[in-house]
């Protein structure tokens, strides 16, 4: 009798093996400075060749290794979380298809092959968001798909623009092959594509809506794959973006995204949406430092953030799974006593998110903040940076207060514990990464440290703002401010802030309302109006009228025949004579 291995275990071992190979190969490439460039010409159109191109360098292998590692942990975690689901194998196949699409995107320096991975991510993410087939999931999936289609259009226009270069390899055909106007347009298209995938303003609404997907999908999609695809694309295009106007626009919009997401997370009560908004805030950090001209720092924070954010989503999934799928943090509390291991991992992830010294987030966020403060940024971006840093600590403390401390608010009918080892083992593995990953990555990626020279006030600014954010978080949870904000006097303001500045409404009803009204008017006036009058109904009426005249002529047979006979005789007489 053959031993059958569950699919989640076999997939986990396969991805974990691939992750180990990729990370070891990345270390070899870092040490030797080697990279492999593979080209396969598919066809030639006039002077332009359609080439399947692959680039295998240390950045590609490192990112691919992290994606495979987190995917393996997510699949193993799903063995318990999705247990009892009739379509569990289908779920596993979708996750593997998602990883394959991401791999296409990572190893492609060619816009056409990038589009394969780009569209694959969009398609599979749509199917995963609507996995729980209900109205909420369907609406969220449609918003996600349509928002990402804007980025697809930008990539397609970029492919058309690159046609004048004789190829689509953006590493070889950089800005000097394009005119000044075409180069500016290409930068704008690439930035738009990256902003849609990484949910920057004004495309931010789809990210919290995508929380309708299963929590393991959120741990994978919103930590290391879909949302970071836009950041990775801009990292690859960073040489073309240097000095362009698109960088200034990207800096302002990413700073606004940081601030908006941090503010919204402090007024949100859905556990997964709070973590999604924190992801949105960190994506703003990556985009902003990228727009300042530091792609290596953006990549460093991308990897470090993937570790502790996947851990945070897994902890949230364990909590939701234990309390029978409740996601409202007001219904939780006291979990530190009942789920100590999950609480420990969750606190580790939260501390790393806040940039606590010697955790993964500290090594990337601290350097990013200091480099940003040292860079010649405008006053608006500087203030938004400072406020977003404080708000991160604020909503993190609020999350810990509502979920882990206090009393359990769901009553005594629920058995909450850490007994599911299939769920806790991946969390422990990612906790090791959240503790040691930042230090290891900083030593590998930056063998020579950044030279940062600033005054004592700027040096301690991040620490001071974080402390003020902690005080604000305490006031929001326990103080008089909490009662005032929950009163009806401030209800419009809290709704505005908590709904991401009405971004979901503007992205759905605000955009579609006028188009739907125009379509309805065209249908009434055009399709059901004039086109019917002069089209199908008009032809039908004319034919009916003509046939009725013929019928009248045929009914009065004798009189009509005699009259017509007489008329023809008269006509023939005049013609002959």
* Element containing residue 506 per DSSP (H, E): helix 503-507
Nearest in space to 282 (alpha carbons), one of 220, 238, 224, 240: 224
Statement: residue 527 has pLDDT above 70? no
Three-state DSSP at 169 gives strand
Task: Among 113-117, 210-214, 553-557, name the one with the lowest average pLDDT.
Answer: 553-557
**Per-residue CA distances from 461 to 184, 284, 400, 414 (Å):** 36, 19, 24, 44
Query: CB–CB of 384/308 below 8 Å?
Result: no
For residue 182, what pLDDT is reported?
72
435: its two tokens: 């503790």
User: pLDDT band for position 573 (50/70/90)?
Assistant: confident
Q: What is the pLDDT of residues 235-280, one digit of tens each?
A: 888 887 877 788 888 888 888 888 888 888 888 888 888 888 888 8
Task: Among 7-11, 101-105, 387-391, 437-441, name the one with the lowest average pLDDT.
Answer: 7-11
**Per-residue CA distances from 8 to 2, 267, 483, 521 (Å):** 18, 37, 47, 52
User: pLDDT band for position 415 (50/70/90)?
Assistant: low
For residue 508, what pLDDT is reported?
67
For residue 559, what pLDDT is reported?
67
Please spell the DSSP secondary structure of 307-349, one letter per residue: HHHHHHHHHHHHHHHHTTT--BGGG---HHHH-HHHHHHHHHH
Give the end-to-end CA distance of the chain in Å, rounded to a whole number. 110
For residue 414, what pLDDT is reported?
61
Statement: residue 1 has pLDDT above 50? no
Query: Between 426 and 459, where is the model more confident?
Result: 426
Please spell the DSSP secondary structure of 225-273, one letter per residue: SHHHHHHHHHHHTHHHHTT-HHHHHHHHHHHHHHHHHHHHHTT--BHHH
Nearest in space to 25 (alpha carbons), one of 17, 71, 13: 17
For residue 2, what pLDDT is reported?
47
Query: Between 224 and 402, where is the model more confident?
Result: 402
Query: CB–CB of 266/469 below 8 Å?
Result: no
Nearest in space to 508 (alpha carbons), one of 227, 125, 140: 140
For residue 469, what pLDDT is reported?
82
**Per-residue CA distances from 265 to 86, 261, 331, 434, 503 (Å):** 34, 6, 17, 22, 14
315: its two tokens: 């902890």
The rounded percent of the chain whose pLDDT value lies above 70 is 85
CA 317/CA 331 separation, integer angstroms: 15
Statement: residue 576 has pLDDT above 70? no
Q: What is the pLDDT of residues 12-55, one digit of tens each?
A: 888 889 889 999 999 888 888 888 888 777 777 666 667 777 88
Query: Between 535 and 143, where is the model more confident?
Result: 143
For residue 227, what pLDDT is reported?
84
CA 505/CA 512 separation, integer angstroms: 10
Q: What is the pLDDT of residues 186-239, one digit of tens each?
A: 888 888 888 888 888 888 888 888 887 888 888 888 777 778 888 888 888 888
Would the CA dihedral through 319, 284, 437, 56 be positive or negative?
positive
Statement: residue 84 has pLDDT above 80? no
Rg (CA), the chain: 31
Three-state DSSP at 213 gives coil
Statement: residue 529 has pLDDT above 70? no
DSSP letter for 463, please: H
Q: What is the pLDDT of residues 443-456, one digit of tens each?
A: 888 877 766 777 77
Supply the mean pLDDT for the chain.
80
CA 485/CA 501 separation, integer angstroms: 17
Q: What is the pLDDT of residues 315-354, one digit of tens each?
A: 888 888 888 778 888 888 778 888 888 888 888 998 988 8
Q: What is the pLDDT of residues 138-182, one digit of tens each?
A: 888 888 888 888 888 888 888 887 777 666 666 665 555 556 677
Please spell the DSSP secondary structure of 369-421, one letter per residue: HHHHHHS---HHHHHHHHHHHHHHHHHHHHHHHHHTSS--SS-SS----S--H
Upstream peptide bond of 202 is cis (omega within 30 degrees of 0): yes
User: pLDDT band for position 79 (50/70/90)?
Assistant: confident
Query: Between 53 and 65, where is the model more confident?
Result: 65
Domain boundaries, the chain: 9-501, 502-534, 537-577
């Amino acid at each position: 009798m053959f031993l059958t291995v569950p699919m989640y275990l076999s997939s986990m071992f396969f991805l974990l093996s691939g992750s180990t190979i990729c990370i070891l190969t990345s270390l070899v490439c870092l040490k030797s400075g080697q990279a492999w460039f593979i080209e396969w010409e598919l066809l030639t159109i006039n002077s332009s060749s359609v080439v399947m191109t692959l680039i295998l360098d240390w950045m590609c292998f490192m990112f691919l290794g992290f994606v495979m590692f987190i995917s393996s942990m997510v699949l193993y975690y799903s063995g318990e979380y999705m247990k009892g689901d009739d379509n569990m194998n289908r779920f596993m196949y979708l996750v593997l298809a998602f990883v394959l699409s991401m791999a296409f995107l990572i190893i492609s320096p060619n816009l056409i092959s990038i589009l394969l991975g780009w569209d694959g991510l969009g398609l599979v993410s749509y199917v995963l968001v609507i996995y729980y087939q209900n109205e909420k999931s369907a609406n969220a999936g449609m918003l996600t798909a349509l928002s990402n289609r804007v980025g697809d259009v930008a990539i397609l226009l970029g492919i058309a623009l690159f046609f004048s270069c004789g190829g689509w390899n953006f590493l070889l055909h950089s800005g000097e092959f394009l005119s000044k106007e075409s180069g500016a347009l290409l930068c704008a298209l690439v930035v738009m594509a990256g902003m849609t995938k990484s949910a920057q303003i004004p495309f931010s609404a789809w990210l919290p809506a995508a929380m309708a997907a299963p929590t393991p999908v959120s741990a994978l999609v919103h930590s290391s794959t879909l949302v970071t695809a836009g950041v990775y694309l801009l990292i690859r295009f960073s040489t073309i973006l240097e000095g362009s106007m698109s960088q200034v626009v990207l800096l302002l919009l990413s700073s606004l995204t940081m601030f908006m997401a941090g503010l919204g997370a402090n007024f949100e009560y859905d556990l997964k949406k709070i973590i999604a908004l924190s992801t949105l805030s960190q994506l703003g950090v990556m985009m902003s430092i990228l727009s300042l001209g530091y792609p290596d720092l953006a990549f460093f924070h991308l990897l470090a953030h993937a570790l502790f954010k996947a851990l945070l989503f897994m902890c949230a999934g364990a909590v939701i799974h234990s309390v029978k799928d409740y996601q409202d943090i007001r219904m939780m509390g006291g979990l530190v006593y009942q789920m100590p291991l999950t609480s420990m991992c969750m606190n580790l992830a939260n501390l790393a998110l806040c940039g606590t010294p010697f955790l993964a987030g500290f090594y990337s966020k601290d350097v990013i903040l200091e480099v940003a403060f040292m860079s010649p940024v405008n006053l608006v971006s500087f203030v938004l940076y400072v406020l977003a840093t404080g708000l991160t600590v604020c909503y993190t403390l609020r999350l810990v207060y509502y979920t882990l401390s206090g009393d359990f608010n769901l009553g005594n009918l629920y058995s909450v514990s850490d007994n599911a080892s299939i769920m806790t083992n991946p969390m422990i593995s990612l906790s090791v990464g959240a503790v040691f990953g930042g230090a290891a990555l900083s030593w590998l990626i930056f063998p020579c440290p950044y030279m940062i020279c600033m005054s004592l006030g700027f040096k301690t600014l991040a620490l001071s703002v974080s402390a003020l954010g902690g005080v604000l978080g305490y006031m929001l949870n326990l103080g008089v401010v909490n009662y005032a904000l929950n009163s009806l006097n401030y209800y419009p303001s809290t709704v505005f802030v908590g709904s991401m500045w009405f971004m979901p409404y503007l992205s759905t009803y605000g955009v579609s309302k006028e188009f739907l009204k125009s379509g309805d008017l065209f249908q009434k006036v055009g399709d059901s109006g004039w086109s019917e009058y002069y089209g199908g109904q008009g032809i039908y009426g004319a034919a009916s009228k003509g046939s009725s005249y013929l019928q009248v002529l045929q009914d009065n047979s004798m009189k009509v025949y005699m009259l017509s006979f007489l008329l023809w005789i008269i006509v023939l007489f005049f013609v002959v004579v």
